[in-house]
Structure 1
Amino acid sequence: MAGGGGARQKMINLMYLVFIAMMALNVDREVLRSFESIYLTMESSTGLTTENNNTFYSNISKKAQEEEDYKAIDVKAKEVQKQANDFFTYIESLKTELKGASYQPGAEETDYNLLANSEPVVSLLFKGEGGDNGNANAQELVSKIDGFRQFLLTYVKDDANATKRINQVFSTEAQGKGKKSWLQEKFYDQPMVAALSNLTKLQADARTEEGNIVRDLLAGKLKEKIELNAFEGMFLSPGIVKVGDEAVLNVVLGAFDNSVTGSVQTSVGSASIVNGKAAIKLNTGSVGIHKLTGNLTYKTASGETKSVPIIPSTYQVVAQTLDVKAAEIIEKDPTGGSIVADNLRVVYRGVENPVSATINGANGPVSMTASAGSLSGAGANKWNHMPGSGNEVVFTATAKASSGKTLTVRETFRVKPLPPARGVVMGKTHAGVPQASLASQRVRVDWPDFLFPVKGEVESFSIKVPGSPIERVNGNSLGGASSISKAKRGDNISIINIKYKSSLGQSGDASIVSIEVL
């Protein structure tokens, strides 16, 4: 700016100074408005995350009432919820004290002097004993953050990525070399709106990590149910053998998984599992019905040793085969026979389950009834069963012997719902996807290792991209999410609340999907 020039030049210089000051004031107002907008947006996003987390808590609590296995998960989930709520409430109390009674969030006539004022922050965290290094309130804040971080780490100790993320997000260490402490960097001489934003970010991060943990608790249990509890030890005995003939008992786990290794201990001997089954020679030295009981011990994919009881069964040793002396055997054991579910002693609700029936010594066709649901013929001695309500169904098979006597066999089967679908991207629950290919990916569902050909289509899902609020997307394309374009290499994207409809017309929720951006 030129100097001198008399009264006129001095007036021009003064006008320049006033103009520059007015521009600076306007910039300050815009900065404050932006800070306030970020703060309010984070509060709104945190509220949505809280609602989503509460849905998972409700699902776990409901499952715990229905199934004993979920009670331990429910206890852990409630502890996570309590710790997260306590931390959230503590931070909220600091925000309330900072804002006081004068601040009206989002009001059109926002008091920018109040937002810019650093005195409430200094008074709350730095006045009194401790001074610039932080008073008792400040030290309590650091202690609460450190304590919550340590609590979270106990739930992710086996996950290196989650451990690294939590240590970074909830770090209270100084970031520079010999420079300001974390407290001074985040709060000292900061305007009130900046302090509110920093505190709200702590709340948002707490809710996000809370959600990650509770989803992992539920997803881990569902994985265990699908991969382990769906299997049961089974005897595959010959049923009836002639006295003195060689007979072999096969013992398998569930749906005959040939990758299983371990051993079986039974009432007729022990053996190692080879190619998914253990073979034990039966004692055929005496006529009669012999009971089979035992346990199957195997190793899971993680190396853990599990032991499950084998469903009790019987085998019968007879003096001659049925085609020679059927009438004599019928008189001794008129109810001999079996009912076999083609897919284990379980029928699944919502699908047609093939069921077969045979009766020893029957002289004619076998008829079948079910205590619940409906039966339709599927060939000689075969039916398709569609389960109804209830947790069990009793099948009753009847036939006539050559003597005219009615032979009857009854067996009880469990009725189970279809297992939950698994959410996948590129066929995986934890996928690595190049940044450039994100928008072209689709969220799908499948039923791994399930015995029935069930398919499904994803109707909608929610997506959480780091730095963006949770977004709901209709359809199955990641490209339908506006926040997908903001994902950066190294980000971990969560796909949650996956809604699908199966090929059987049933709707459900699939397990979560995690994507690492490459």
Structure 2
Amino acid sequence: MASGKLSPRQKMINLMYLVFIAMLAMNMSKEVLSAFGFMNEKLVENNSTATLKNNETLANLETKAQEQPDKYGNLSKIANSVNQLSKDFSSYLETKKTLFLEGQEDPKNYEAMDQANIVDEHFFKNDKFTEEGQEFLDRINGYKNSVTELLGENNPLSAVINQRFDTSDQKTEDGTEPWLKNRYEGFPLISTITNLTSMQMDVKTTESEIYSSLLGGQLESDVSMSNYKTILIPEKSAFFQGENFKGKIVLGRYDASLQPSEVVVNGNKITKIENGGAVLDFPAGGVGEREVKGKFVFIENGEPVEIEINSSYAVIPKPNSAVISADKMNVVYRGVPNPMTISIPGIPDNLVTATAAGLNRSTGSGKYTMTPAAGREVTIKVSGKLPNGQTVSSSQNFRIKDIPSPQGTIRKESGHVTMPKSSLENSTVGAELPDFDFDLTLSTTGFTLKVPGQGAVVVRGSRMDAAAKKAIAKAKRGDVVTIFDIKSSLVGNSGYKIKNASPVSIEIQ
């Protein structure tokens, strides 16, 4: 068009044609910029809708976790962790969008957002990334890695998320190019804003897929018949010989609306079904372990599904005596509440009565405390009423022992201790009960101190008084100071007389 000898008129026509083509290109460019802007608006709107749906799903999951913590508690923790990661990452992307749009007078004038230098200067410096550019990559990879770690490598969603947020080098006609340069360098500002909004949409999509996967996986586990377990629920824990066994066999996921097509137990068909459980009523059999075997049959997808019943129960002889045991030892100690368990096999706790001087019922089935008073022995009498109305009774004697003599201590050390005079003057004298089965606290009320060559000093309380410090000051290096007649009282029961603690000796350094 520009070659050869042309007339001035033809040259003018050709020039006007070139200007026309340039104008068309400019108009096309403006239209593309506007298209990016409109796409960004649509993505922002979709993100808002996705946020609402995700929040509803998360709230639903949290409600289920409160109602059924064992089933949904861990799923709720994972979902909340994903939600927090997504919020943080999406907020970071939003700060980048705000930064890039700071200089724009009209955020809706997309045709004016054709410059690339704002993003290029922020992410790139020569052929390298700026700190902000590297941080951008790290934040993308950090979000991806954190989410997939929560899901686990074997979760199918992990591969999808890894691909969705892939920042590996991109293939080009000339080889490969870093992802950040390939996607952001030299592009108009509006395309970068749209890219960031699209990435926020990817975050919302990731959240939604994870929530659906967590809920869907649990619901699938709930409704699949292969995940049900049979549970034998006897009317009571043990049965007497000659009684009929009474109880139910139910599924692990109890559902009153669930009705089996057939139940067979020990070769017999069970026809009485109540609240999703097969009601059993048959002779308990002889003493010993008795098996309950059979099957539940359900119809799933038109096909029968069998669930095995394999359980047992124990038949014991009728009791004629009570079982009484001391929780701590085979004796009871004076001055302290001794925990005890009293029961009669086969008889409920509310039908068992136990009496003795100092015996009181405490919290818990069959739990009592015995606080013996005077004497060397106490008798506990127990009676209980059997289901047939008969009464059984028994009794047992327990020896009463005093709390043993405590061990004297200085600075919580016993026996022979070495320390300087200055330390001894400021030390506390104590009394302890080593290897005693009860956790008792003793308070020192007084002691006697003897320094070689000095008279004995009687001290009240647990610390050295002026007279004791004066005697200690006269001790020489190598002298052995003795503390004896250590008196103490039982915290919480000052009326009980504790024996004197063993002496403690201190060698002066």
Calculate the TM-score normalised by the size of structure 2.
0.48
Calculate the TM-score normalised by the size of structure 1.
0.47
Q: Computing the radius of gyration over CA atoms, which structure comes out larger, 1 or 2?
A: 2
